[in-house]
Amino acid sequence: MTDNDAAVPRLTALVAASIGEEHRERLASEFPDVSFVPIPKSGEVPPEGADARILFRCSMSKDEMTRTIAGAPNLEWIHTCTAGFDQLLVPEIEELNLKVTRSAETHHLPISEWVIGFMLLVSKRYADLWVAQREHRWAPPDTEDLAGKTIGIVGAGAIGTEVATRARPFGMRIIATKRSPVEHAAYDRVMPSDALPELLGESDFVVLACPLTTETKGMIGAEQLRQMKPTAHLINIARGKLIVDADLIRALEEGWIAGACLDAFAEEPLPPDSPLWDVPRLVLTPHASYRSPYMFHRATDEFAANLRRFRAGEELQNRLREPKLGY
């Protein structure tokens, strides 16, 4: 028997419990030479998955991640269905030099629509109209146009760029900051990160679309909120810890800015006794901007594309580059 006659070991991939049977069956059909092993919500690796080299992760806590990594000593690559890396970065990833990739294109469509929806909500005063209807009052509101307004996007990545693309037909001026700025047709101007004060001062809507890193944690506090226009709105569809909550509460109570929409919070679910619930001119949504009936389908598309690269020995796309910085 020669080396060429030896059986090639079957590739095994672990699949998180939240990724349903429909998507596992699709992967099995596309990759008949790969074993896709579901793991329970606890993260415990079943015996048939102990030799896994791949993890397709979604909705797993860091404790569950640690448990899974410990149960799969041959693990080489983790793909997460999230747009960012912060929710899965456990010390073992860097210690074991694991490859990590993300679903960069999965969430940008629903999130961008959510941002447009909020801008229309406050510009057209839909909430006031709903209240008036319930009270049987004929009360035409004073409204604003989006046309001519400036939207400032903090983080000109896939999500930020999709927001820019969808804002363009409304006739908005679009500016952004990016750690490594490059010109892009979706924007009127892309500035470096240290130009944040300039962006805040020019924008009617400030959209946080950047990752949570050691550099961005608490990046919007009292100083930055005072740099915004008193008529401006802040929209956070990224991570809650980008904002200093106490400073935002004060800014809204004292009228430094016109309003805000938060779809991400430092603690989730938001506790019932959080002071954020009762802040004037603040819209809270339960980290729902990314939700879509097509989310897992899109995430599976991105995972499958990288799985083909992995099997071919090619460079994986959307890799974690700087574990210490979280992106």
Give Cβ neighbours of residue 24 (< 8 Å, ≥ 6 apart): 15, 36, 38
Is 253 among the catalytic positions? Answer: no
Residues β-bridged to residue 48: none
According to DSSP, residue 282 is labeled E
CA 171 – CA 67 distance, rounded (Å): 50
Q: What are the backbone angles phi and psi of residue 47, rounded to the nearest 5°? A: -55, -40
According to DSSP, residue 193 is labeled G
- Rounded to the nearest angstrom, the gap between the alpha carbon of residue 317 and the centroid of all alpha carbons in its chain is 17
DSSP 215-252: TTTT-BSHHHHHHS-TT-EEEE-S-GGGB-HHHHHHHH
CA 23 – CA 102 distance, rounded (Å): 17
Determine the 3-state secondary structure of 159 from DSSP.
Answer: helix
Give Cβ neighbours of residue 81 (< 8 Å, ≥ 6 apart): 16, 19, 56, 57, 58, 59, 103, 106, 295, 296, 299, 303
Is 183 among the catalytic positions? Answer: no
Q: Is the peptide bond before 269 cis (omega within 30 degrees of 0)?
A: yes
Q: Sheet with 77-80: list strands edge to edge.
A: 34-38, 11-15, 54-57, 77-80, 99-102
Q: What are the backbone angles phi and psi of residue 55, rounded to the nearest 5°? A: -130, 125
Is 314 among the catalytic positions? Answer: no
Point out the catalytic residue in the list 23, 107, 173, 239.
Answer: 239
Point out the catalytic residue in the list 44, 95, 267, 268.
Answer: 268
| Diameter of the chain measured on Cα atoms | 87
The helix-helix angle for 108-123 and 158-167 (nearest 10°) equals 40
* Residues acting as catalytic residues: 239, 268, 287
